[in-house]
Amino acid sequence: MNASNLIQQIADTVGVHRSTVLRILRGDLEYRRPSYVQRAERVRELAARYGYRPNTAARAVAEQRFRAVAFLNHRDRQFSHLPSPLIDGVQDALDAAGLGLLLTRCSDTDLADPGYAPKVLRECCVDGLLVNVNALPNPRLYDLLDRPDTPSLWLNIRAGRNCICPDDRAAARSLTEALIARGHQRIGYLGFGTVRHYSKAERPAGYRDAMEAAGLEPCAITGPPGSIAGGGRALLASAMTTLATGPGPAVWIGYSTFECIQVLHLAQAQGLRLGEDLLLASFVDKPGGGNRMLCAEAVAPSYDLGRTGVDALVRRIAGELEQPEIALPWTITTDIEPHPNWA
């Protein structure tokens, strides 16, 4: 039994036209007269009994819009950071807006191709693109960002418009300030970030902001990915020795827990002990993400990123041409109890 026959059957039973049945089930009319109300009730009841379900694709064809959105990630996972809170935020916002979610992947060449986005829109049956490609600054990518015929919203990049991004600079500043407020003065920053992402520059910048505002000497070690194995290691070792001199523990802020582990390696060689001589802080995706080796962490606003991104995309789909960049605040947590094995 196909859907058309089902509708016809309901129409015949109740004694109305097919289009009336569809209209009632669509539910966009308010009935006043009791006889109409009863009839509508009858139709709904029959539809439920027969297990009728509207065909969203047919509706999309008729309405000429799809009521769905594509979530676009890079084929190479390292260019699309996808923590589960991000997916949750996207899904919650889409549910609230009554929109469906399609999962797609793309490559570098796809993004550079001006025909790619329209292709995704029609072939995936979606009205807009939520693009989660954050570490690939292909200049031609920005054509897509501005095209009014293919509404897109970008996550986790700084583009000035049509994007949502965690405010890494403010987060680094707040994290550093929180450490200073707890009495720490010898605070270092280490960033060997392997990704091409604005955070690589913003985190040390925010750190410097806070140190300079407090009249403290910044000590930031940053470098290309491979540098930990080369001179960077010696540089870090000597900075650690310098910072270790003084009352109480020194604090190292890592770009990620990867850097924190590098610090731990060297600490061991230098006879410095975590908790007593040394504390670690970093940026994490989820609370407790640092395996409890951290005394303080900045937790990324991934859930909000998803929600806010969908909301802005919905506005673009609705016709607002350009959306302003929104920078989202991180959550700073201090005084984390260290894991017994690290203490």
Partner DNA sequence: CTGAAAGCGCTTACAG
H/E element, 70: strand 68-74
Interface contacts to DNA, rule CB under 7 A: 2-5, 7, 15-17, 19-20, 22-24, 26, 28-33, 36, 39-40, 53-55, 58-59, 61-64, 122
The pairing of beta strand 152-155 with beta strand 128-132: parallel
CB of 335 to DNA, least distance (A): 55
Distance in angstroms (rounded) separating the CA atoms of residues 252 and 255: 10
| Inter-axis angle of helices 257-270 and 231-244, nearest 10 | 70
191 neighbors 259 (Cβ within 8 angstroms): yes
Which of a second copy, DNA, none interacts with 154 (beta carbon under 5 to 8 A by kind)?
none
Q: Which of 250, 176, 243 is nearest to 214 (CA)?
A: 176
Which ranges constitute the DSSP H helices of 228-338?
231-244, 257-270, 302-317
Which of DNA, a second copy, none interacts with 26 (beta carbon under 5 to 8 A by kind)?
DNA
Give whichever of 47 and 187 is closer to a second copy, judged by the CB atom.
47
Which of DNA, a second copy, none interacts with 32 (beta carbon under 5 to 8 A by kind)?
DNA
Give whichever of 56 and 331 is closer to a second copy, judged by the CB atom.
56
End-to-end CA distance of the chain: 68
CB of 281 to a second copy, least distance (A): 17
Which of a second copy, DNA, none interacts with 105 (beta carbon under 5 to 8 A by kind)?
a second copy
Which of a second copy, DNA, none interacts with 252 (beta carbon under 5 to 8 A by kind)?
none
C-alpha torsion 47→48→53→54, nearest 10: 50
Q: Which of 81, 108, 96, 97 is nearest to 305 (CA)?
A: 81
Q: Is 313 left (phi over 0), alpha (psi -120 to 50) or beta?
A: alpha
| Residue position matching structure tokens 């607002």 | 320
Which of a second copy, DNA, none interacts with 10 (beta carbon under 5 to 8 A by kind)?
none
**What is the DSSP code (8-state) at residue 324?**
B
Give the CA distances from residue 208 to residues 22, 188, 211, 282, 327, in Å, rounded to whole numbers and listed in that order: 63, 10, 5, 15, 19
CB of 46 to DNA, least distance (A): 14
CB of 261 to a second copy, least distance (A): 7
Give whichever of 20 and 107 is closer to DNA, judged by the CB atom.
20
Give whichever of 10 and 180 is closer to DNA, judged by the CB atom.
10
Which of DNA, a second copy, none interacts with 321 (beta carbon under 5 to 8 A by kind)?
none
Give whichever of 14 and 214 is closer to DNA, judged by the CB atom.
14
Distance in angstroms (rounded) separating the CA atoms of residues 73 and 81: 8
Which of DNA, a second copy, none interacts with 49 (beta carbon under 5 to 8 A by kind)?
none
Distance in angstroms (rounded) separating the CA atoms of residues 232 and 224: 9
Interface contacts to a second copy, rule CB under 8 A: 2-3, 48, 51, 53-58, 60-61, 64, 66, 71, 77, 82, 84, 87-88, 91, 95, 100-105, 115, 118-119, 121-125, 261, 264-265, 268, 291, 339-341
CB of 232 to a second copy, least distance (A): 18
CB of 36 to DNA, least distance (A): 4
CB of 79 to a second copy, least distance (A): 13
Q: Which of 22, 19, 14 is nearest to 39 (CA)?
A: 14
